[in-house]
Structure 1
Amino acid sequence: MSASSIGTPDQLRDPNYTPALGRAIPLGIQHVLAMFVSNVTPAIIVAGAAGFGFGSNSPDFPELLYLMQMSMLFAGVATLLQTVTIGPVGAALPIVQGTSFAFLPIMIPLVAGKGVDALAALFTGVIIGGLFHAALGTVIGRIRFALPPLVTGLVVMMIGLALVKVGIQYAAGGVPAIGTPEYGSLLNWSAALVVILVTLGLKFFTKGMLSISAVLIGLIVGYIYAIGVGMLSVESIGTSWSRASAFALPVPFKYGWEMSAAAIIGFCLMAFISAIETVGDVSGITKGGAGREATDTEIAGATYADGFGTAIAGCFGAFPNTSFSQNVGLIAMTGVMSRHVVTIGAIFLIVCGLVPKVGGVIRTVPIEVLGGGVIVMFGMVVAAGISMLSDVEWNRRNMVIFAISLSVGLGLQLEPGAVQHLPDTARILMTSGLLPAALIAIVLNLVLPEHLAEESTEEVSGGMAGHGAGSLPHD
């Protein structure tokens, strides 16, 4: 579907323009396909970390379906806040909201092995963190100076590095299978590799909808492969479908209310990173779709919607929401700036979220198949961080900031026992790796004098001198 067949150039750059429904509906669904897998994956990962049983006969099965259902429903609600707006809340731009990967390094330690009981503290943290995030909308323009590409690129890269282990574990058979003969078997890896190969093939050798939906189609092919080789039975699919109800409404405060300092501090600190990510996405949408800079009102409105969307989601058992970058690229590709197109996608997400059978089918995807998709997605998060770091001027000062932040953050991820004597709250925040790395980078960037940037880097870089953004040293 070409842009010229949808409207005139002026219409396509107008967020308030609505294409004919026959073209607006597939464009809206296209936005959902681009983010669908990424949106429900965090619920599966958090449930797995908490120790939920994943089988259709498990007592935790209804809880897992509920978490997935809420992920879809409140991604749609948060997207509506962005596109339809309520007063100052929302940017009135085609911004797609979804469950954020950025918070996983915080959520996983909070729930590790604790089952459903851990969710009360987690969702209380989501609500308070969301309200704090919304409050950032009043000052977001004034704090951007503290988060240059050196800091944001490092943080995004650390998010991906914190999660790549999860992808490998899933591809090998999942955390419950660790230590069993089946873990890491050729059969398990074959399912993950099918997903990876199909995804890469579609992403690089096709165009349009096939390329945009590469991960989703890769998972579908992997799902069919799993049935073909006996990893998944048709009977288990039928059981999952029959156990899931046809319609269900969200339950307010389903998991209760529990104040946890680790959860509250963690979600509030991560709100800074999510807010800056949203600023970048809003700027990307206005530049890619309309050829202009985002206004202060649009940036503030988007931040308000991010925060309030997250707080509302937490009240009903859904995880933090943020703007989805893959949809920013989709707008630049299609050239359609209409926020009403994205509103149609949001309605589609809400409908899916009210039908638990959708989650029932998704839950039957074997963990090894999901692992293939997760490896691709988390690897792309790391790559996105590296891309942001390419804008950094690699002088002595910035190399020191990056080196110390990365060493401490990644080191604590790899060796959490190093801080075992800290109080529980501090230990959870430190072993995420992400928050100490971000805090060190922000503080050093504000404190270290700029004149260090002009000095030689020989003594800190093993002979590799600092050079311009993205460049390598010359002989």
Structure 2
Amino acid sequence: MADTTIGTAEQLKDPNYTPPLSKAIPLGIQHVLAMFVSNVTPAIIVAGAAGFGFGSDAGAQGFPDMTYMIQMSMLFAGIATLLQTITLGPVGAGLPIVQGTSFAFLPIMIPLVAGKGPDALGILFTGVLVGGLFHSILGLFIGKIRFALPPLVTGLVVTMIGLALVKVGIQYAAGGVPAIGKPEYGSLLNWSAALVVIFVTLGLKFFARGMLSISAVLLGLIAGYLYALTMGMVTVEGISRSWSLASAFALPMPFKYGFEFSAAAFIGFALMSFVSAVETVGDVSGITKGGAGREATDKEISGATYADGFGTAVAGIFGGLPNTSFSQNVGLIAMTGIMSRHVVTCGAIFLIICGLIPKVGAVIRTVPIEVLGGGVIVMFGMVVAAGVSMLADVDWNRRNMVIFAIALSIGLGLQLEPGAVQYLPDTLRILMTSGLLPAALIAIVLNLILPEELSAEATEEVSGGMSGDN
């Protein structure tokens, strides 16, 4: 519900309205709190997959790299958000769009870096750069390709993203990747830390209001962190050491990890850009409908897509991960009724400041992997739920059921059994075993070439056949 003490009803619907700073700054920080955990989590997961240590007592291995990646996640989320709110020529929608690190690319990024340490980061960030440039180009014709990406395709892809990541959440909650051979893997202590996060998050989300509900995941992680501290899973000495190792201020370094060509990375990031672009279009529409009660203009949609891609490309140069618009902040705008882009600008500046202070990233790095596991179980489950929600808009006739069944079976099957395509060339094998890209490609192609059916007859045939077999 809109707070009319901040401005009139008409002012609150105007993206160009500037509330008093005493109101705008807290509202901007509220946006940051809503997205903070989701924004830094992909960097932690990618760094962990590359083999960098978790927690304050993990030793110095990979400390600078993980801290730097967390730092860049905050910095370039803030910069990309500024591109959306302030705009730069055709780049940016001029709307209160909050940008953050995208989960969608994780199924592509994890295989690229798995167990390879810093050596794989050059390929990763070059892929981010190229994918971002490709994403920017989509701004020229994003409206013309939306016909190829109906809810059947986008819902399937979002669901697949969540399904590809839930395994990571369970592994983290149990204590890390089991291949490490830790005897405590899956112990009650490990699971108890994750469950504290889950229960606190659920309790706040459903039984609290206002900021407590909005920041439920963040507060859940803090509760899990405190629990881990009392149980000896993280020590004050370890936290102090991480704090002392990090500098108080640091600027990003261009091409810190080099520039390295990889066809698999380029193709993977480029293809996932389609999904990210469509997600952004949906978020822009949600903001204008929820905050101003109108449809988004073509200029706003195009500008938002440009900013998505340009922000990602710049992040790739300095060691940041792909950016996209954050849906949770769309819901926050609908809830507060405050459409001012300058409110989100305040939040962006706060993120940029955090991104320039490595000690912030060093403290985040000390979160035990089990505590993080509790948070990502909730977040990845919400990704699956978001995909299922999108699929609810699909007309489930025989044609669409067949498309969904084939795409899901092949995509999920290749993800679960990557050895099935072990003789493919390396580039193609990486793309296929992501599961996500083959599922999306199959769904898009089948949706374009299969003829439409009479939905009433087809649905009746499917439902009748299913009930008749039981």
TM-score band (shorter)?
A: over 0.9
The CA distance in 2 between the partners of 1:406 and 1:176, in whole Å, is: 27
Aligned to 1:217: 219
Aligned to 1:446: 448
The CA distance in 1 between the partners of 2:7 and 2:249, in whole Å, is: 37
Q: CA offsets, 1:409-435, max 9 Å, x none?
A: 000111000000000000000000000
Q: CA offsets, 1:133-153, max 9 Å, x none?
A: 000000001000000000000
| 2:27/2:343 contact within 8 Å kept | yes
The CA distance in 2 between the partners of 1:250 and 1:92, in whole Å, is: 26
The CA distance in 2 between the partners of 1:81 and 1:166, in whole Å, is: 32
The CA distance in 2 between the partners of 1:295 and 1:260, in whole Å, is: 37
TM normalised by structure 1 equals: 0.96
Amino acid at match of 1:101: F
Aligned to 1:11: 11
The CA distance in 1 between the partners of 2:5 and 2:329, in whole Å, is: 21
The CA distance in 1 between the partners of 2:181 and 2:287, in whole Å, is: 46
| 1:79/1:343 contact within 8 Å kept | yes
Aligned CA distance change for structure 1 residues 406 and 177 (closer, same or farther; 3 Å) = closer
Amino acid at match of 1:23: K
The CA distance in 2 between the partners of 1:458 and 1:440, in whole Å, is: 25
| 2:255/2:317 contact within 8 Å kept | yes
Q: How do residues 41-190 of structure 1 correspond to structure 2 at under 5 angstroms? A: 41-54=41-54, 55=57, 57-175=59-177, 178-190=180-192
The CA distance in 1 between the partners of 2:218 and 2:456, in whole Å, is: 48
| 2:171/2:178 contact within 8 Å kept | no
Amino acid at match of 1:52: F
Q: How do residues 12-27 of structure 1 correspond to structure 2 at under 5 angstroms? A: 12-27=12-27
How many residue pairs were aligned?
A: 467
Aligned to 1:32: 32
Amino acid at match of 1:377: M
Structure 2 unpaired stretches of 5+: none
The CA distance in 2 between the partners of 1:408 and 1:210, in whole Å, is: 41
Amino acid at match of 1:420: Q
Aligned to 1:425: 427
CA shift at 1:250, angstroms? 0.1
Aligned to 2:283: 281
Aligned CA distance change for structure 1 residues 45 and 461 (closer, same or farther; 3 Å) = farther
Q: For structure 1, which segment, 175-184 or 222-231, has the greater mean C-alpha deviation from structure 2 after superposition?
A: 175-184
The CA distance in 2 between the partners of 1:176 and 1:406, in whole Å, is: 27
Aligned to 2:259: 257
The CA distance in 1 between the partners of 2:226 and 2:464, in whole Å, is: 50
| 2:112/2:265 contact within 8 Å kept | yes
Q: How do residues 353-432 of structure 1 correspond to structure 2 at under 5 angstroms? A: 353-432=355-434
CA shift at 1:5, angstroms? 1.5
CA shift at 1:48, angstroms? 1.1
Aligned to 1:470: none
| 2:246/2:358 contact within 8 Å kept | yes
| 1:172/1:183 contact within 8 Å kept | yes
CA shift at 1:235, angstroms? 0.7
The CA distance in 2 between the partners of 1:157 and 1:231, in whole Å, is: 33
The CA distance in 2 between the partners of 1:423 and 1:371, in whole Å, is: 33
The CA distance in 1 between the partners of 2:255 and 2:376, in whole Å, is: 29
**TM-align CA RMSD:** 1.6
Amino acid at match of 1:7: G
| 1:89/1:304 contact within 8 Å kept | yes
Amino acid at match of 2:37: V
- Percent identical among aligned pairs is 82
CA shift at 1:460, angstroms? 6.3
Match of 1:294 among 293, 296, 320: 296
Amino acid at match of 2:21: L
Aligned CA distance change for structure 1 residues 455 and 420 (closer, same or farther; 3 Å) = farther
The CA distance in 1 between the partners of 2:429 and 2:157, in whole Å, is: 19
Aligned to 1:231: 233
Q: CA offsets, 1:323-371, max 9 Å, x none?
A: 0000000000010000000000000000000000001111111110000
| 1:35/1:327 contact within 8 Å kept | yes
The CA distance in 2 between the partners of 1:176 and 1:357, in whole Å, is: 30
Aligned to 1:464: 466
The CA distance in 1 between the partners of 2:185 and 2:453, in whole Å, is: 53
CA shift at 1:373, angstroms? 0.4
- The 3-state SS of whatever aligns with 2:90 is coil
Q: CA offsets, 1:281-300, max 9 Å, x none?
A: 00000000000000000000
The CA distance in 1 between the partners of 2:25 and 2:458, in whole Å, is: 57
Q: CA offsets, 1:242-287, max 9 Å, x none?
A: 1111000000000000110000000000000000000000000000
Structure 1 unpaired stretches of 5+: 466-472
1:206 aligns with 2:208: yes
CA shift at 1:56, angstroms? 5.3
Match of 2:269 among 248, 252, 267: 267
- The 3-state SS of whatever aligns with 1:207 is coil
Amino acid at match of 2:236: V
Aligned CA distance change for structure 1 residues 320 and 364 (closer, same or farther; 3 Å) = same
TM normalised by structure 2 equals: 0.97
The CA distance in 2 between the partners of 1:298 and 1:147, in whole Å, is: 19
- The 3-state SS of whatever aligns with 2:324 is strand
CA shift at 1:451, angstroms? 2.6
Q: CA offsets, 1:165-187, max 9 Å, x none?
A: 00000000011675332000000
- The 3-state SS of whatever aligns with 1:183 is coil
Aligned to 1:468: none
The CA distance in 2 between the partners of 1:261 and 1:453, in whole Å, is: 41
Q: CA offsets, 1:212-267, max 9 Å, x none?
A: 00000000011111111111111111111111110000000000001100000000
CA shift at 1:58, angstroms? 2.1
The CA distance in 2 between the partners of 1:291 and 1:53, in whole Å, is: 47
Amino acid at match of 1:116: P
| 1:75/1:97 contact within 8 Å kept | yes
